[in-house]
């Protein structure tokens, strides 16, 4: 955690040192997440992301090249419906910091296309996981039971990292629409969480295979 905070401070100081340059732009971004985890039995979940971003042009390296960084509140997770066996709904909200290198190509003075690629780091902030299951009570009646627990600290790791890419269009050098995808590298579930969990085994959720975050993003941004 200390290393991540130090990294964020150093990055902020670095961006601040070039704040006076004309090729640094700031903006706001928001959009939709379609997230899942790379394990059998868990499907897509709709979420959101919102935050601020900075873009530093690098004309001294090449025309159209830029460095892109953002700080995002990003709601991810996964869910499934196991029919008669119940289901699980994982909610996980992260603070994410993606840092990309991108290239922008000008179609004309008011319309650009762009693409970027780079790593991201994420810290889990909060979230609840709900599990629904069907079981027999003492009278041998089939009943639906459910319970909730904290996603982070009670089953899932807070730290995440991976790589992602974005492609999109920019209009009048202010309005941006983009499509992206992030591939998480970190196995999100704690090792203790996967051992002996009969509920998940019955739902055919294979936590032992390694549940890593995957996220499709659709974003709009405004650059000042």
Domain ranges in the chain?
22-125+155-189+210-223
The answer to whether residue 83 scores a pLDDT higher than 60 is: no
Averaged confidence pLDDT in the chain? 82
Q: Kindly report the pTM of this predicted structure.
A: 0.80
Q: Region 201-209: what's the mean pLDDT?
A: 53
Q: Region 90-116: what's the mean pLDDT?
A: 96
What top-level class would CATH report for the domain 22-125+155-189+210-223? mainly beta
* Cα–Cα dist 103/47, whole Å: 28
* Cα–Cα dist 133/143, whole Å: 8
φ, ψ at 118 (rounded to 5°): 170, 180
Residues 27 and 68 sit within 8 Å (Cβ to Cβ): no
> pLDDT at position 198, please?
53
Question: What angle (nearest 5°) sits at the alpha carbon of residue 74, between those of residues 216 and 87?
Answer: 75
81 falls in which pLDDT band (50, 70, 90)?
A: low
> pLDDT at position 192, please?
46
């Amino acid at each position: 955690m200390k290393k991540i905070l130090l990294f964020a401070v150093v990055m902020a100081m670095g961006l601040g040192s070039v704040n006076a340059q004309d090729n640094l732009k700031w903006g706001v971004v928001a959009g939709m997440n379609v997230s899942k985890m790379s394990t059998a039995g868990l499907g897509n979940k709709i979420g959101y992301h919102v935050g601020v971003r900075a873009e530093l042009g690098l004309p001294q390296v090449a025309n159209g090249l830029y460095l892109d960084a953002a700080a995002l509140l990003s709601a991810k997770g996964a869910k499934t419906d196991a029919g008669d066996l119940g289901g699980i709904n994982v909610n996980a909200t992260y603070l994410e910091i993606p840092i990309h290198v991108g290239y922008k190509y000008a179609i004309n003075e008011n319309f650009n296309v762009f693409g970027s690629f780079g790593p991201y780091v994420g810290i889990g902030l909060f979230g609840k996981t709900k599990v629904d299951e069907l079981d027999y009570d003492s009278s041998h009646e089939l009943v639906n039971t459910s319970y909730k627990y904290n996603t982070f600290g009670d089953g899932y790791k807070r730290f995440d990292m991976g790589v992602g890419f974005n492609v999109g269009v920019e209009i009048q050098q202010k309005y941006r629409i983009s499509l992206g995808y992030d591939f998480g590298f970190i196995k999100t579930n704690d090792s203790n969480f996967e051992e002996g969990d009969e509920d998940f085994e019955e739902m055919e959720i294979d936590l032992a295979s390694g549940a890593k975050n995957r996220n499709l993003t659709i974003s709009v941004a405004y650059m000042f």
